């Protein structure tokens, strides 16, 4: 991907190309997305980044922050994170596993595009990343295997993680499947 000199919010076609590239990268690392859901054009809104679900729940979009509207590396970082959530869009909060994988994927994508890495700004995201990095084959092998068993990162159970990472500490697996509320 060649990033234009224009701002991200002034480059809807480049933003859409980036979204599709990120989906492709995420599917290569984590398995196929839920193709019954439509992926809508990313948007920039105050209060972003977050995942927006359509009113009738037929699809979702990445909503990026106003900081990302003017700076490609921030747009890439935020969109990569939300892209992990786009694999299986859900309402509300997800688990620590999905949040940790989303942070790891954001960092992976920044490196992929030769951009400086960011550190997560929320301690919750730092903690989620640390949990995922402790998994064997970190950070994508076990999540991919567990996701292939149950169909979605947000549906992973302790049992599916045990199947994908035998011998990993139970208390860590319990935390990975519990709800993560970013603060």
State phi, psi for 62 to the nearest 5 degrees: -80, 125
Query: What's residue 48's pLDDT?
Result: 95
Would you write out the chain's pLDDT as a tens digit for each of its 183 residues? 778 789 999 999 999 999 999 999 999 999 999 999 999 999 999 999 999 999 999 999 999 999 999 999 999 999 999 999 999 999 999 999 999 999 999 999 999 999 999 889 899 999 999 999 999 888 999 999 999 999 999 999 999 999 998 887 778 899 999 999 988
Distance CA 170, CA 43 (A): 39
Q: Which of 151, 42, 60, 24 is nearest to 98 (CA)?
A: 151
Alpha helices in the chain (DSSP H): 12-30, 72-86, 96-112, 123-133, 141-150, 158-164, 170-177
Query: What's residue 1's pLDDT?
Result: 75
- Give how far the C-alpha of residue 133 lies from the chain's centroid of Cα atoms, to the nearest Å: 15
Does residue 182 fall inside a structural domain?
no
Does residue 130 fall inside a structural domain?
yes
Query: What's residue 165's pLDDT?
Result: 85
Distance CA 146, CA 159 (A): 9
Number of domains in the chain: 1
Does residue 62 fall inside a structural domain?
yes
Domain of residue 140, residue span: 8-177
Does residue 16 fall inside a structural domain?
yes
Does residue 127 fall inside a structural domain?
yes
Partners of 63 in the beta sheet? 43, 50
Query: What's residue 172's pLDDT?
Result: 86
Distance CA 35, CA 79 (A): 19
The predicted model scores a pTM of 0.96
Does residue 3 fall inside a structural domain?
no
Query: What's residue 168's pLDDT?
Result: 78
Does residue 103 fall inside a structural domain?
yes
Does residue 27 fall inside a structural domain?
yes
């Amino acid at each position: 991907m060649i990033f234009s000199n224009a701002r991200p919010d002034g480059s809807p076609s480049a933003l859409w190309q980036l979204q599709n590239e990120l989906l492709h990268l995420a599917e290569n690392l984590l398995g196929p997305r839920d193709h019954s859901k439509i992926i809508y054009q990313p948007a920039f809104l105050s209060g972003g980044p977050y995942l927006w679900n359509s009113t009738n729940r037929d699809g979702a979009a990445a909503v990026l922050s106003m900081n990302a509207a003017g700076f490609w590396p921030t747009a890439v970082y935020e969109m990569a994170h939300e892209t992990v959530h786009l694999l299986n869009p859900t309402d509300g909060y997800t688990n620590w596993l999905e949040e940790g994988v989303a942070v790891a994927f954001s960092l992976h994508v920044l490196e992929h595009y030769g951009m400086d890495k960011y550190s997560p700004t929320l301690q919750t995201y730092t903690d989620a990343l640390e949990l995922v990095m402790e998994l064997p084959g970190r950070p994508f092998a076990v999540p991919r295997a567990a996701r292939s068993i149950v169909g979605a990162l947000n549906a992973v159970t302790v049992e599916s993680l045990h199947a994908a990472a035998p011998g990993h500490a139970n208390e860590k697996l319990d935390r990975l499947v519990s709800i993560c509320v970013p603060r």
